Amino acid sequence: MADDTPTKATEYVELKHEFFDRFKDADVTFKFHFKRPSTPQVARVQKSVLKNAGQAFRNLIMETVKPEDKDALKTALDEYSGLASTFGGALMASCGFGDLGN
């Protein structure tokens, strides 16, 4: 069985988000490929997230998305702005951020 785990920081992994859009009465799926955020990118998110979380995450995902996915991601964000926080949060989790639930 092949190992799909990236071996370099410059490699991309697929992140997928599925949900039900009640206004369209349809299931929606988005798949994009992202590279792991760099330390300076994470620092920028940390610095700006309290001022404008949506913009901080949008900037992060637009910087880390695979170039071939960039236009599709922009279009998706225009319709579903919450995707920025969803994918941005997933990228930050890959850097160790999360909720301990305590």
**pLDDT for residue 3:** 56
In a domain, 4, yes or no: no
**What is the total count of domains within the chain?**
1
- 59 is a domain residue: yes
* Span 21-68, pLDDT tens digits: 999 999 999 999 999 999 999 999 999 999 999 999 999 999 999 999
Tell me whether residue 54 is in a domain. yes
**What confidence tier does 4 reach under pLDDT thresholds 50, 70, 90?**
low
Q: Is 77 helix (H, G, I), strand (E, B) or coil?
A: helix
Is residue 2 assigned to a domain?
A: no
Q: CA-CA distance, 46 to 88, in Å (whole number)?
A: 12
Domain of residue 67 covers: 12-93
Task: Evaluate if residue 9 carries a pLDDT over 80.
Answer: no
58-84 burial: b if 16+ Cβ within 10 Å, else e: bbbbebbbeeebeeebeebbeeeeebb
Where residue 61 sits, what CATH number does that domain have? 3.30.2220.10
33 in a structural domain: yes
Place of tokens 């995450």: 57
Q: What is the pTM of this model?
A: 0.84
